Amino acid sequence: EPEVTQTPSHQVTQMGQEVILRCVPISNHLYFYWYRQILGQKVEFLVSFYNNEISEKSEIFDDQFSVERPDGSNFTLKIRSTKLEDSAMYFCASGTGLSYGYTFGSGTRLTVV
Partner 1 sequence: LAKTTQPISMDSYEGQEVNITCSHNNIATNDYITWYQQFPSQGPRFIIQGYKTKVTNEVASLFIPADRKSSTLSLPRVSLSDTAVYYCLVGLMNRDDKIIFGKGTRLHILP
* R_g over Cα of the chain: 13
* Chain-centre distance for alpha carbon 56: 13
Q: Of residues 29, 102, 110, 112, which one binds partner 1 by CB under 8 A?
A: 102
Nearer to partner 1, 18 or 56 (CB): 56
Nearer to partner 1, 2 or 97 (CB): 97
Are 23 and 75 contacting, i.e. CB atoms less than 8 angstroms apart? yes
106 is a site residue for partner 1 (CB under 8 A): yes
Amino acid occupying residue 70: P
Burial degree of 72 (CB within 10 A; 0-12, 13-18, 19+)? exposed
Q: Which of residues 14-53 bind partner 1 (CB under 8 A)?
A: 31, 33, 35, 42-45, 48, 50
Residues within the interface to partner 1 (CB under 8 A): 4, 31, 33, 35, 42-45, 48, 50, 55-56, 89, 91, 93, 95-107, 109
